[in-house]
Structure 1
Amino acid sequence: MSDPTPPARSDGDVSRLSRGYVAIIVAAVSFVALTCVAFLVPVPYVTMRPGPAFDTLGEIDGSPMFTFGEDVQTYDTEGVLDFTTVSVTRANGRVFLADAVGAYFSRDVAVVPRDVVYPDGESADESREQGAAQLTSSKDSSRAAGLRAAGFEVPETPQVVDVVEDGASADLLEPEDLILTAEGEDVQTSTDVVDAIGAVTPGDEVTLRISRDGEERSVDLTTQPSPDDPERPLIGITIGTAYDFPVEIENNLGDQVGGPSAGSMFALAIYDRLTPGPLTGGLTVAGTGEVAGDGTVGQIGGIRQKMAGAAADGATVFLVPAENCAEASRGDDHDMTLVSVEDLDDAIEALETLADDPEATVPTCR
């Protein structure tokens, strides 16, 4: 018995089938096209990737990272003391969805909102200027910290860094003014100045004695309430520190990088050059951390990316600011010893211990 003959399709049936196939094909092509377009749309994020490492005991552009005055006693060193960096999308750069998705699944790349890195729409020029200012401050504080760790006295004086345009100090104080007294009391540090101003009521007058271009003068300022806390008085300045360095030390990094996070490694390099015996014992050491003039090591950003960059440069020891330890401990340690440091003395003690015995026990992040 033969198979039944299928009913013949009418021209209308064929036409409907053709339109159905065309619709499916158009939908598929549209989906692919829209997906491609979506992946090419900029997103409000930036990426943070491992950047290069720089040996503070070595050279930069053919010159030593650090040079010392002719009358300064220095000592030979061994090994490597790298400071690490992060490569961040430029302020005027764009990250596309495809890049963000790919970076999200990379263990060594971070994707963060743009306004975290560039607040208030900060421009490329503003970002560079801020990074350069932070680096300049870091060079000074690291010199002070390294010298003090090596046994030198480094006097310091509070200094005006910036004046708010419409603040209480406008037209009365200038950048680089040295602050000698506040309310008749000698001030040794920027904290002393902040404490003296904070002791009055907003709207009260405070008197500062300053030194400008070698000449002393008194300045009366009417404090203003803080926008964030009406009970807190402000005089509209940013206060920094001017150091009186006892020896000549030049940091020759230039403007290749910005920011404050190389400070701890700068300080260790200065200490190593000014004290007998190599601090690293020949080890390749890397690290990061903002450093204050008193040697305190502060937290930084991009710790995971800096660790990856250090490992790529052959580091076996990585110095981690104590406040970054929790983040540093998440994920791969790249077979490096993650040393936890709260101040420069911690770092020096740990490195001296590891120089004698690379397997010795030191404070770590794990």
Structure 2
Amino acid sequence: MLASTLMLIAFLCAGVLLPVPYAEMSPGPTVNTLGEHDGEPVLQISGHKTYPATGHLNMTTVRVTSADYRMNLVEAVYGWLAHDDKVVPHDTLYPDGKTEEQSTQENAEEFSQSQESAKVAALKELDIPVRSWVIVSTVVKGSPAQGRLHAGDVIKAVDGTAVKQPADVAELVTKHKPGQDVVFTIIPAKEQAAAEKENRTPTGAQDVTITTTTSEDSGTKRAIVGISAGTDHTFPFTIDIKLADVGGPSAGLMFALGIYDKLTPGDLTGGKFVAGTGTIDDSGKVGPIGGIEMKTVGARDKGAQYFLTPADNCAAALKDTPGGLTLVKVKTMKDALGALDDIRNGDTAALPMCTAKG
């Protein structure tokens, strides 16, 4: 008996002290994009007529353990047994040894970009024009572009070929062999910002020649200059999204729907409690996200009746759908608006439901 007791104590101590390479996900807060958070409206629009909106269009989140948190064996076992939590390999959430600081920065950038795309998608649905252009999004430290190009510079052309979207930049650069020169025609970020502020066309285009180098990632070797390209926009009026301590791109769809609702008379939801998730791009295409099982649980716990689900997440969401929650499949913002029309009119038989195939 004594030996068994000592052995049990030893196993328990080992379970508490022994770190395991896992992390945990659990349902996070859910926030109504039509309402307030921490005492102020989530969506603040000025310079354009807005309309009151009732009901809920809730964005959903997932809580995850930090990058430097080391889970022990007991916590891992408890997480595996807990219904509303999910234990996953640490590298799933923090690949390539990503630090907490790096992860936070990346999530903040994705969150910011998702807000921009949500604004563009909503205004395009309303046929409100938005000016867009390709910019230098980031410059890699130590790359050939460092000191030559800067974040925010507008890329007008590469080797004299006009650039219309971010993908054009990489396509034109990789036509070169490593070591060859590539010419960027840019508007410096400061001039672009000044022109926007003064509501005029920017001037002062410059040609910048950069010698390419060889890519160092695991893919096919190719010519690079060490930048990533993105898109910037000028909106005809001000749209601010006030939501702190949230990261990642998955709230894009719900932000876009909230903006659309506030800019149109009537209620998109008809007063119903609708939650959802999904990335969104400038064209209104909805993309998949991580942690769908956690988000449906969090939404239902807050009272959601319907959950707008990216089509590519439907199969995973169906595996453990909370009782009383209807999963609605969406591929585009237009799909989501159509589904909300059915919900508002009580025509639930017409809703595009999630299936195991998407």
Q: TM-score, normalised by structure 2?
A: 0.90
> How far is 1:219 from its partner?
1.1
For residues 108-187 of structure 1, the aligned pairs below 5 Å read 108-187=84-163
The one-letter amino acid paired with 1:233 is: A
Distance 1:311 1:165, change over 3 A: same
Deviation track 1:313-337 (CA, whole Å, cap 9, x = no partner) reads: 1111101111111211212343222
**Distance across 1 between alignment mates of 2:15 and 2:245:** 32
**Distance across 2 between alignment mates of 1:333 and 1:261:** 20
> How far is 1:106 from its partner?
2.4
The residue number in structure 2 matching 1:8 is none
> How far is 1:102 from its partner?
1.4
> How far is 1:231 from its partner?
4.6
Q: Does structure 1 residue 237 correspond to structure 2 residue 227? A: yes
Selected match of 2:65 from 89, 94, 97: 89
> How far is 1:64 from its partner?
0.6
Q: Does structure 1 residue 285 correspond to structure 2 residue 274? A: yes
> How far is 1:174 from its partner?
1.0
For residues 244-263 of structure 1, the aligned pairs below 5 Å read 244-253=234-243, 255-263=244-252
**Distance across 2 between alignment mates of 1:260 and 1:334:** 27
Other structure's SS at 2:58 match: strand
Q: Does structure 1 residue 363 correspond to structure 2 residue 345? A: no
The one-letter amino acid paired with 1:244 is: T
The one-letter amino acid paired with 2:313 is: N
> How far is 1:118 from its partner?
1.6
The residue number in structure 1 matching 2:198 is none
May I ask how many residue pairs the two structures share in their alignment? 340
Contact 2:296 2:321 in 1 (8 A): no
Range 35-44 or range 242-251, more displaced: 35-44
* Greater C-alpha radius of gyration: 1
**Distance across 2 between alignment mates of 1:56 and 1:130:** 23
Contact 1:56 1:66 in 2 (8 A): yes
**Distance across 2 between alignment mates of 1:205 and 1:319:** 48
The one-letter amino acid paired with 2:68 is: N
The residue number in structure 2 matching 1:17 is none
Contact 2:328 2:351 in 1 (8 A): yes
**Distance across 2 between alignment mates of 1:332 and 1:322:** 15
Please give the root-mean-square deviation of Cα atoms over the aligned residues, in Å. 1.6
Deviant stretches of 4+, over 6 Å:
none
For residues 1-366 of structure 1, the aligned pairs below 5 Å read 25-40=1-16, 41-69=18-46, 71-212=47-188, 213-214=190-191, 215-227=204-216, 228-253=218-243, 255-366=244-355
Q: TM-score, normalised by structure 1?
A: 0.88
Other structure's SS at 1:42 match: coil
Contact 1:308 1:334 in 2 (8 A): no
Contact 2:342 2:348 in 1 (8 A): no
> How far is 1:62 from its partner?
0.7
Deviation track 1:92-116 (CA, whole Å, cap 9, x = no partner) reads: 3232211211111223211111122
Other structure's SS at 2:68 match: coil
The one-letter amino acid paired with 1:296 is: K
Unaligned 5+ residue runs, structure 1? 1-24
The one-letter amino acid paired with 1:340 is: K
Deviation track 1:103-136 (CA, whole Å, cap 9, x = no partner) reads: 1122321111112212233332222222222211
**Distance across 2 between alignment mates of 1:46 and 1:231:** 34
Deviation track 1:8-59 (CA, whole Å, cap 9, x = no partner) reads: xxxxxxxxxxxxxxxxx34202221122112202221111001110000000
**Distance across 1 between alignment mates of 2:333 and 2:112:** 19
Percentage of identical aligned residues:
39
Distance 1:87 1:229, change over 3 A: closer
Unaligned 5+ residue runs, structure 2? 192-203
Deviation track 1:325-350 (CA, whole Å, cap 9, x = no partner) reads: 12112123432221111111111111
